[in-house]
Amino acid sequence: MAHTVQSIAQALDAEAFGNVDLVVDRVEEPARAGPNDLALLTNPKFADGLSQGQARAALLWPGADWKALGLEAAIVANRGRFAMSGLTAMMDLGQHYPTGVHASAVIDPTAEIGADVHIGAFAIVGPRAKVGAGTVLGPYCHIGADSKIGADSYLRDHVSIGARVTIGDRFRAQPGVRIGSDGMSFVTPEESGVEKARESLGDQGDVRSQSWVRIHSLGAVTIGDDVEIGANTCVDYGTIRDTRIGNGTKIDNLVHIAHNVIVGNDCLFAAQSGIAGTTTIGNNVVFGGQVGVTDNTTVGDNVIAGGATKILSKVPAGQVLLGYPAVKMDTNIEMYKSLRRLPRLMKQVAELQKSVSKLGSNG
Q: What is the pLDDT of residues 47-73, one digit of tens each?
A: 999 999 999 999 999 999 999 999 999
Q: What is the pLDDT of residue 198?
A: 85
Q: What is the pLDDT of residue 195?
A: 86
The proportion of the chain whose per-residue pLDDT surpasses 90, expressed as a percent, equals: 87
Read off the pLDDT of residues 149-163 as tens digits, 9 standing for 90 and up. 999 999 999 999 999
Name the nearest CA neighbour of 186 among 294, 297, 277: 277
Instruction: Say which residues have a Cβ less than 8 Å from residue 334's Cβ, sequence separation at least 6.
Output: none
Helix and strand element counts for the chain (H, E): 4, 40
Query: Between 119 and 192, where is the model more confident?
Result: 119
Overall average pLDDT of the 194-219 stretch: 90
pLDDT interval class at 207 (50, 70, 90): confident
118, 158, 256, 259: the catalytic one is 259
Instruction: Say which residues have a Cβ less than 8 Å from residue 304's Cβ, sequence separation at least 6.
Output: 285, 286, 319, 320, 321
Q: What is the pLDDT of residue 210?
A: 86
Q: What is the pLDDT of residue 314?
A: 97
Q: What is the pLDDT of residue 255?
A: 98
Read off the pLDDT of residues 70-108 as tens digits, 9 standing for 90 and up. 999 999 999 999 999 999 988 887 667 889 999 999 999
**Is the pLDDT score of 302 beyond 70?**
yes
Paired sense of beta strands 148-149 and 166-167, if any: parallel
Q: How far is CA 235 from CA 82, 93, 180, 244, 258, in A?
A: 29, 29, 6, 9, 6
Q: What is the pLDDT of residue 95?
A: 63
Largest CA-CA distance found in the chain, in angstroms, rounded: 99
pLDDT interval class at 119 (50, 70, 90): very high
- Between 115-124, 195-204, 309-318, the lowest mean confidence (pLDDT) is in 195-204
Overall average pLDDT of the 187-192 stretch: 91
Read off the pLDDT of residues 257-292 as tens digits, 9 standing for 90 and up. 999 999 999 999 999 999 999 999 999 999 999 999
Judge whether 259 counts as a catalytic residue: yes
- Class of the 3-95 domain? alpha beta
DSSP 46: G
The proportion of the chain whose per-residue pLDDT surpasses 70, expressed as a percent, equals: 98
Mean pLDDT of the chain: 95
Domain spans, the chain: 3-95
Q: What is the pLDDT of residue 71?
A: 97
Coil, strand or helix at 15:
strand
Q: What is the pTM of this model?
A: 0.89
Contact 107, 101 (CB under 8 A): yes
Instruction: Say which residues have a Cβ less than 8 Å from residue 45's Cβ, sequence separation at least 6.
Output: none
Coil, strand or helix at 121:
coil
CA distance 235 to 178: 6
**Is the pLDDT score of 344 beyond 80?**
yes
